[in-house]
Amino acid sequence: MYLGDYIVIDAKIGPYSFFCSCVSTNTVFQAVVDEDKRRFFDDDEFSNAHPHACPFLRPIDDGRIVCTIHETSPVQCKVYRCVALKIYSGEKQVGYITGMGALHSDDPDLRSLYDSCISQIPKEEQERDEWFACFFEKNGYRTE
């Protein structure tokens, strides 16, 4: 959701076409809203309510939030994984780790545990996923 701080619409060049830039990679790309998602893109209520979200995210009929430029999204989006690891306490999912290594959880104990390990988290994606799984399992959680 927070790629809006990294993906910027520089110019609208057509009803569903835009020149954009990726702030983090200093690259430009042309985005075209996918035909099957244009009716969702036309509703900008979500973007107005979430100014730091990617400007191309929109909620769809089933409640999911989706990318409306999936076919023309930049490389950084194509390699991003939404959920890398789910974390369970017993049978209940209490949180998850995104592909970038961020924890999403309302559980204060899990949040505190995560905060205690931030400086130890590996930078490399393959190492990070395995490291998180071992770390949480050593501390009494189950992961998938």
For the chain, the residue count is 144
My answer on whether 101 and 66 are in the same domain is no
Taking only the tens place, the pLDDT of each residue in 112-126 is: 999 999 889 887 767
My answer on whether 133 and 107 are in the same domain is yes
My answer on whether 16 and 59 are in the same domain is yes
What is the residue range of 38's domain?
2-79
Report the predicted TM-score, pTM, of the whole model to 2 decimal places: 0.58
- The total of structural domains in the chain comes to 2
My answer on whether 6 and 75 are in the same domain is yes
My answer on whether 52 and 34 are in the same domain is yes
Which of 45, 64, 79 is the last residue in one of the domains? 79
My answer on whether 95 and 37 are in the same domain is no
Rg of the chain over CA atoms, in angstroms?
Answer: 18
Taking only the tens place, the pLDDT of each residue in 45-76 is: 998 998 888 899 998 887 778 889 988 988 77
Task: Tell me the average pLDDT across 32-46.
Answer: 95
